[in-house]
Structure 1
């Protein structure tokens, strides 16, 4: 009887040790999984409207430089929407399926942004709008940008002053339907309403590009408008530079004022030379850095203001070098 009890006791002891070892292994797995989750980087998707646009290229450079400060904890994934809402919708859905922790979004089209914003918001992902407004701003977590209407007003007022309040202008607009095109045109119209002696002879889209801006200007210079144009009002510097090239080729640089928006480095150099007469500074570096800062705060669950606005600035020829220095990313 004692021998049987000894055998039973030994079996119980072996079984107890086995269970303890099994529980120990399970505990190790839980600890390891927790450690793995804690060390996993957060991910932020960055949806650019079109990285080939010079202003956005500068902004992307600033974003990437700022993102390096957080490379040990957050991964930033950049994608190019090529000004196509369908491409951007697919990119948004891809980020949603990957369960990213936040998304930075520059829409290629204001109306086309609606389903993109809805999908991201429905997925519960913080959404930081940058540079270009979406159709339903209230759905954004926050917005980083500038007052686009103001940029049109600043540009048109400067040109109106150069014209002495009278003359004929042509307007080269951005992509029709794109938020900056709508807002800058509105700002230009706001100023023109005060100057009945300034006439708009023609307007067309230059699709934000230098080549298209040049083509539009060449067509006007081949028409009966050639000797009537006193100034070109372009929605961005790229189109202004294209128009400037067409005017220079036609030998009319001393007869037509050209102005643009963004104060990109090449435009600033042309301003120094006296070829471009005016530009309006939009802070690409400031917007890019602020977008990353907001995304980091969103990922960390920190409070954000509803918007962060960076003012536009009129650039005069004598200050061109000071604005060129602002493109140095620190």
Structure 2
């Protein structure tokens, strides 16, 4: 079960007992059944607390479930306006509304409220920012241990193996660092089973270069790697902190003269963009990345279009 801070004295002041109990059930549901991350749960909890404080002032008393059932679209718009006045950014407002809708949908499924009021409120429009992939040659340079980004050879091999998983398999850092010697790809394997966001599993095809990079790291690593322990370890032998990979990328950026947008996650963007440029279809790329919705993957078509227009602008003789 997911621990909830909704039972705190602070929250009990601004919600009636029936709503407090429902809030805890909701958080536990998101954590145990929907498998939301701790980060998302904390954000949703904080946003709903702010909404309840608004309702306490708006309604003149601590709200209960019946008060939520009577809310109209204007009430939600009033909350968003209040948050905007206090300096909340568009992304924060959109996430806050998403959390409130999630709670109301949960209560609606239990037959306690009607979520139509919140559903009728338009989500604040988010600024659309395109992923910024790394060029193919630069990406290949980053995954190579031959460039001296590190003074210690085994650390260079470790970083190269992690980067190769990000670029060669499209993994997130958390997915790469969750591998163990037991689950790591080995010679003869043609695919890698990954458990991604929400506990969703996917199979990713393996390139020989990925297996070679991992084998090279394991041969050089001075620490004993327990079969079910972390595959990638720090200099003292404990589980590798993602921050170390981010710092390694900073060194790579400096050595190659790359912009700040060249992050470890940009290697995953590069994986998708380069596959699409090479003729890969969106549905396959969606499955490889583990995206729940095709619309999330479609953003890479915009990246491709933007790159094409930029090349056209720079090279067409009539520009």
- Do both share a fold (TM > 0.5)? no
TM range (shorter): under 0.3
Larger Rg: 1
TM-score under structure 1 normalisation? 0.26
TM-score under structure 2 normalisation? 0.27
